[in-house]
Amino acid sequence: MADNKRLQFEALCRYRAPIEAHLADMYLRLLLDEQAGLAILLQQEVEELDEDDEISSLIVRRTLTLYDTLLLLVLRKHYQERQNAGEQRVIIDIDRVDVALRPFLPLTNSSRSDRRQLSGALKIMKDRKILAAVRGDEERFEITPVIRYVVNAAFLEQMLEEYLKLATGASLSEEQEASDG
């Protein structure tokens, strides 16, 4: 946000307390990461509310498809690795994403349309500000710091391990069916 809307971000930082108080009245909270230049609006957690509060959600939660979930996990893993290596901007290309998704493809019943599906999923991630286009190159994307708040590191490791187990099990089942048939 700070890159694109510097003045608005500075005002948000300056008036943080009254903005947070106003958002709390609507059962929302502000997650402000000044270092990364991010501002994210979140629904207040149920634990933070009084028992007699009756709320309507202003932020709609969406269930991700299996493919989108796998893509998020792959992007978060790459982001974490590159951040640990000291990179400030984390760039990934579509081929690297495709290769990283391959171990999980038995779960998605892959077909020739995988690349088209990947392109569509990457567009969704751009729309949700998890990815940003790299100027002059449609095959490369910057993974934005927003991903840290969408998928935390502990959840990442747990989910990757579970999906790999499922993918391995699916591959073994398919091989067994082929040999039985």
Give the domain ranges of the chain.
6-48, 66-180
Q: What is the pLDDT of residue 119?
A: 87
- pTM, two decimals, is 0.70
Buried b / exposed e across 31-57, counting CB within 10 Å, b at 16+? Answer: ebeeeebbbeeebbeeeeeeeeeeeee
How many angstroms separate the CA atoms of 150 and 126, rounded?
A: 14
CA distances (Å), origin 144, targets 44, 93, 150, 156, 178: 23, 14, 11, 16, 43
CB 59 within 8 A of CB 42: yes
Q: What is the pLDDT of residue 132?
A: 92
Residues in the chain with pLDDT values less than 70: 1-2, 46-61, 105-112, 170-181
**CATH architecture designation of domain 66-180:** Orthogonal Bundle (1.10)
E strand residue ranges, the chain: 28-33, 38-43, 90-93, 131-134, 137-143
Q: What is the pLDDT of residue 104?
A: 73
